[in-house]
Amino acid sequence: MSAAKDLHHLGVAGLSRALAAREVSATEAAQHFLARARDRQALGAFLAIDESVTLAQARTADARIAAGGAPALAGVPVAHKDIFVTTDFPTTAGSRMLAGYRSPFDATVVRKLAEAGAVTLGKLSCDEFAMGSANENVAVPAVGAQQATPVRNPWDTGRVPGGSSGGSAVAVAAGLAPAATGTDTGGSIRQPASFCGVTGIKPTYGRASRYGMVAFASSLDQAGPMARSAEDCALLLGALCGPDPQRDATSLDRPAEDYTRHLGDSLQGLRIGVPREFVGEGVAPGVRAAIEAALAEYEKLGARRVEVSLPRTELSIPVYYILAAAEASSNLSRFDGVKFGYRAPEYRDLADMYRKTREQGFGDEVKRRIMIGTYVLSHGYYDAYYLQAQKVRRMIADDFQQAFRDCDVIAGPAAPTVAWKLGEHGDDPVADYLADIFTLPASLAGLPGMSVPAGFDGAMPVGLQLIGNYFGEARLLNAAHQFQQATDWHLRTPPGF
């Protein structure tokens, strides 16, 4: 291969093979993606780029490859959601509160990918502290911008990319990076993957270490990869997952796995459960048609469709926004202007500094969730709201286990609609919350889930959500892989990209 013009079409697996065969160098690959990121700054995907750091890592990768025995991801460029702390790039979590902050250590996910040979392209935009469904809540200017602007969907730059990992989804969809990390608290990998036509997976809660991930809701936050295909995600997941007991108490004591090991298995006899609550009212007709076509394709591959029920699906929205807000109010109390991050320039005393720092440093959505969380944890309301939400959360998890008695994989839309127009939900935050209705249940249950490109509604991508039982990532990825071998939705790219 000549260095470069089609590198962004290869994906992680293809680029890995080209690098191992010395058809292209890691330095050439890094230069190619950095150039694309520079040329497409108007999308607002990147919050930080440092070409000297990236090219130095690429040269190191080239040396590892030349020496022989390099890992599979050696030289593959990856960009990180700006929720993971990094020593070589600033970490802002999309918030003015952390503007200019540089961590003294790397997040475990970042470190593990670096150990696997990946080259860091930069940091990607996200909703402030990962709170949002559209990537419109970012308060930090993107690379090349003078002020903060929403990230734009490359399929239609007048529409949102989804959130909170919108920058990650856009970077992959627009060919600015072959892969990106994201985080999923209530659907923040799966929903933007659906809106931007890429593949993204949230593993079982605890599979990937949360160490160095700026916390939003600790019992829900989980890291995962976003890439072009299920095969790409399987390679990335194998590198970034694994136990981290000394740094993350919620990290599961399970060894790293080869998530590619089932790729190629037949789907003959696979039982695909379709919850009746996922295909009823509220789902856009074009989305429903794409999902039905995808399910028909699975039947051609030998799978069998089974109707199941997740009766508490609607309750997942109030349950999530009580529990997540409660944990956010606790986690974000550390941002007070004392030890790090933003501090109000003028104040009278310590209490005034706290108040002004948090008033000026946090955006509206973050303040909204902190206030809700503080309220539901307050005396007299803890039992009425927080404790009841925890009980219903357990019931939602039980609903999944009941469904998995009759099926192997659960399928349905990742979101009820395609991406909406920028600013369309500006005065109605609840509309954003409702867009998460199909991703929230799996997050509350801690189950692995992914979004796979499955067609279009008009000109906008539609994502098929696949949910597996605990620790079923390898078979879940194979279900996605077989679908992608039979279709080409994941190979479609936005016009002009």
Catalytic residue among 95, 125, 164, 194: 164
Strands 409-413 and 271-275: parallel
- Determine contact, residues 366/128, Cβ cutoff 8 Å: yes
Q: Is 81 among the residues known to form the active site?
A: yes
DSSP-based helix, strand, coil % in the chain, nearest 5: 40, 15, 45
Q: Is 188 among the residues known to form the active site?
A: yes
Q: Report the distance separating Cα 407 and Cα 404, nearest Å.
A: 5
Strands 199-202 and 449-457: antiparallel
- Please give the structure tokens belonging to residue 452: 């796979």
- Determine contact, residues 122/78, Cβ cutoff 8 Å: no
- b/e string for 324-357 if b means 16 or more Cβ within 10 A? bbbbbbbbbeebbbeeebbbbeeeeeeeebbebb
Strands 199-202 and 222-227: antiparallel
Sign of CA dihedral 76, 151, 432, 274: negative
Catalytic residue among 16, 81, 133, 194: 81
Other Cβ atoms closer than 10 A to 368 = 16
- Determine contact, residues 413/287, Cβ cutoff 8 Å: yes
Q: Is 95 among the residues known to form the active site?
A: no
Name the residue with tokens 């979004």.
451
Q: Report the distance separating Cα 34 and Cα 20, nearest Å.
A: 21
Max CA distance (Å), the chain: 70
| Contacts of residue 232, Cβ cutoff 8 Å, sequence gap at least 6 | 11, 12, 13, 178, 179, 199, 225
Catalytic residue among 188, 194, 229, 451: 188
**Nearest of 77, 72, 71 to residue 27 by alpha carbon:** 77
Q: What are the start-end ranges of the H helices in 146-229?
A: 166-173, 190-196
- Determine contact, residues 87/102, Cβ cutoff 8 Å: yes
With residue 396 as reference, give the H or E element that holds it. helix 388-403
Residues labelled as active-site residues: 81, 164, 188
